[in-house]
Amino acid sequence: MIIFLVLSNLFLHAFNCEDTDKGQVINVPGVTISSVKICDANPCVVSQIIERDVCIDNNKVLEYYCIDDESKSKAIDCPKSSSCKLGSCQ
């Protein structure tokens, strides 16, 4: 119950997101850098969250991208002629 109360009072707001590979580009390993404002006390704290494209397995990449200044992720299958290595389909 205490954890719920603490989490329910936390205010998190994303206000900027940059993607080094400029979208859902599976053949380029990318990084998203999101700026977030955390307001659980006064004053608010600005922090950055860094997420890298990673291989889920040999045939699938977890691709990070930005939508409306927030980082999102999607598991995408590599084309049959390639495999996932170092965060991209090669």
Residue 10: per-residue pLDDT: 56
Q: What are residue 60's DSSP bridge partners?
A: 57, 77
pLDDT, tens only, 11-29: 667 789 999 999 999 999 9
pTM: 0.80
The mean per-residue pLDDT over the stretch 42-59 comes to 93
Q: What are residue 51's DSSP bridge partners?
A: 32
Sorted by sequence, the CB contacts under 8 Å of residue 21 that are 6+ apart come out as 28, 29, 30, 31, 53
Instruction: Give the Cα separation of 30 and 41 in Å (integer).
Output: 33
The mean per-residue pLDDT over the stretch 5-15 comes to 56
pLDDT, tens only, 70-89: 999 999 999 999 999 999 99
